[in-house]
Amino acid sequence: MAQFDWSGYREYQHETGLLRFDAERPEALGQLLVWPEQQQVHHWLNMAGWWQRQGWDMVLLLPDGQQQHFDPSAEQVNEEQQQWLMTLTQRLAPSFEHPHDTPQLVLTQGSASLWFQHLVQTGALPSPDGLIVLDALPVTHAHQRMLAMSLARSAWPVLDVFTKQHPAALLNQELRRQSSSRHPGDYHAAFLHTPRHPERLITAWMIRHGWMPQPPGAPDFLKGGEQNETGISRSQNTGTGGQAAPAGL
């Protein structure tokens, strides 16, 4: 398959292979770094304008097939994988050089989730302020347990979103539920019927953590610890101040 030429996009950064979409305001409320699954970049491109209008910078990593080829749990890492991880770190590191008074959130999809946790836990990348995980469904038991323990032990809030209910998805959910019950932390799981429009769920979670302004007349679940209609689990954090997600999402 021919590789798409991203250089025609004005948001494309040649040095890092990232697409950067700046907020539609002088000072961004924060930055959302999206690391998608292979062949899913177009889905997040369609979402960039919405985040810009909410006052957030969005940075989109253009993934490569290596993230599905290499093994994040390998005890003996070959030179090719080491070089790939080094290059990946160099691509991502500049995105974490942002104003420290604004939140840095990361969204990982599928196989990217284990790799991001690996890069943070090895010190290659700094910790995010919050992490959204979408349909991270490892197949092997070793990878399932590895991700479950990693997410449960994270020192940052985690929103774990599932859109599938096949046996592998249910097994991953159960392993993470068990791991999170053994480790006190800010871990929440939620289910969506489609991955096409996760903005509403993500926005609700962000408002409850104070990362986005609270809309006027916000429902009670945004103000405290009640469960909402999307299935997001109980939170101890509250949001603050201003603007709702689109009603159609």
3-state secondary structure 88-137: HHHHHHHHHCCCCCCCEEEEEECCHHHHHHHHHHCCCCCCCCEEEEECCC
Question: Could you state, in order of their start, the residue ranges of all structural domains in the chain?
Answer: 12-71+78-222
CA–chain centroid gap for 207, Å, is 16
**Residue 127 in contact with residue 120, Cβ under 8 Å?**
yes
Q: Judge residue 199's burial from the number of C-beta atoms within 10 Å of its C-beta, 0-12 exposed, 13-18 middle, 19 or more buried.
A: middle
Q: Can you state the angle between helices 141-152 and 167-182, rounded to 10 degrees? A: 40
Low-confidence stretches of the chain (pLDDT < 70) are: 1-10, 13-15, 99-100, 195, 217-249
Residues 6+ apart with CB under 8 A from 194: 163
* Angle at alpha carbon of residue 33, lines to 32 and 35, rounded to 5°: 140
Q: How far is CA 151 from CA 24, 65, 76, 116, 230, in A?
A: 32, 23, 23, 11, 21
CATH class belonging to 12-71+78-222 = alpha beta
What pLDDT sits at residue 218?
64
